[in-house]
Amino acid sequence: MTKEHIFNEKELIDSLQETLAHAKGKLTLKTTRVPRPTRSMSPARISLIRRKMKASTPVFAAYLNVTADTVRGWEKNRRRPSGPAMKLLEIADKTPGVFVG
């Protein structure tokens, strides 16, 4: 099954006008650096982060906006943190003061 593409004339014209403005030096395009993907974290590392923050499992879970059972699952290797949770764990590891304050 082929997907039908709807032609948007205004979008094309706007893009061409931006390109022309950039070529004339009237518009500066910005390059954004995309952060690297988070790496997986071992259950021992997650537990270490929690202990480093001196937080109980329920408190640590509240910091990350997940349930205490979820944190227990991570620490016992029954579950894996999702992408957003991995990013929060990475932040907690590098700058725990963001959560405790």
pLDDT digits (tens, 9 = 90+) for 49-88: 999 999 999 999 999 999 999 999 999 999 999 999 999 9
Alpha-carbon span 88 to 65, nearest angstrom: 10
DSSP state string for 59-88: HHHHHHTS-HHHHHHHHTTSS---HHHHHH
With 0.95 as the threshold, say if the pTM is over it. Answer: no
- Domain count for the chain: 1
Alpha-carbon span 75 to 86, nearest angstrom: 13
Q: Looking at the chain, how many residues does it have?
A: 101
Instruction: Map tokens 């620490």 to a residue.
Output: 75
Q: Residue 47 domain-assigned? A: yes
11-34: per-residue pLDDT in tens?
889 889 988 888 888 877 776 778
Q: Residue 58 domain-assigned? A: yes
CATH for 55: 1.10.260.40
Domain that holds residue 93: 43-98
